Amino acid sequence: MEHRHLGRSGLKISEITYGNWLTHGSQVENDVARSCVRAALDAGITTFDTADTYANTVAESVLGEALADQRRESLEIFTKVYFPTGPKGPNDTGLSRKHIMESVDASLKRLGTDYVDLYQAHRFDHATPLEETMQAFADIVRSGRAHYIGVSEWTAEQISRGHALAQEMGFQLISNQPEYNVLYRVIEGEVVPTCEDLGLSQIVWSPMAQGVLTGKYRPGQPLPEGSRATNDEGARMIERYLDDELLEGVQKLSTIAEDNGMTMAQLAIAWVLQNGNVASAIVGASRPEQITSNVAAAGVVLDESTMEGIDAVIGHFAETDPSLDRTPEHRLT
């Protein structure tokens, strides 16, 4: 397993991060989740990403239990704050000081640790002054409850504003966690150049486009039983890719993968890792063998002809509009 620095910080994280969205506490039983975490550790993964909102806090608890027998200093544990948790009352969401301070303590308790290595703003909060949010993060870093602060799905302009405030308050923003894959490249136009300039890295989620880039979804065929597309939340994320013409293009990647001695999943993960601003690709699993296979993408260098071949068969399907983000649109009044 290769490791890369996260932003301009001294923190190194594994090129493959184990994530437990849509799996722990929901799609897979706890014993299977523990087996997947064990497979990740055995494969050399040291970085684990979760969020308080995943399975309404249960995913954090499952991950904490699975890592309880590990040397804490040998791991990088990440979590996030923003989305509703608990009974979803008026202060159970967003990036207010109240919600952040209460959420970090609850997350630490569920994870069974005194600190997280990276605490991330899961989205940008238009309803809370950014100064309030960043001051809360500064206080969390100074208290030792988080070593570093990151964001997720923030626009280039939001990252720039947050970075400036962080510097004023004496801490660093070191990462952004966006969706990024062969089919979804919206960060390339503005977010990546901004982050390169300011010293942030990307920790990308959905490198396999919700499983579409594995080739298991075939044009004109029924959805595979038990696949993410048959799960309510997963289906909402994947439906944009279930176009027969696009799926036909994805099938053409199989030859490129075979020529490189890789599976289609490994090729998809290796593709995102070719971007120098990407520190790690987040990979989940419902079976331990998925992790064992996918980690083979770490350290792979795809040559120019391979990258050009990928673009030739599927690049024209890629979404590149930098204005697309998932930040809620309500504004301060």
- Show which residues are catalytic: 54
**3-state SS class at 154:** coil
How much is the CA Rg of the chain, to the nearest whole Å? 19
Q: Are 116 and 80 in contact (CB under 8 A)?
A: no
Contact 50, 79 (CB under 8 A): yes
CA distance 94 to 75: 28
Q: Cα–Cα distance between 98 and 209 in angstroms, integer?
A: 35
Residue 100: half-sphere exposure toward Cβ, Cα within 13 Å: 25
Mode of pairing for the β-strands spanning 3-5 and 12-14: antiparallel
Report the SS3 class of residue 292: helix
Calpha distance 231→30 (Å, rounded)? 18
Q: Beta strand pairing status for 12-14 and 16-19?
A: unpaired
Classify strands 201-204 and 116-121 as parallel, antiparallel or unpaired: unpaired
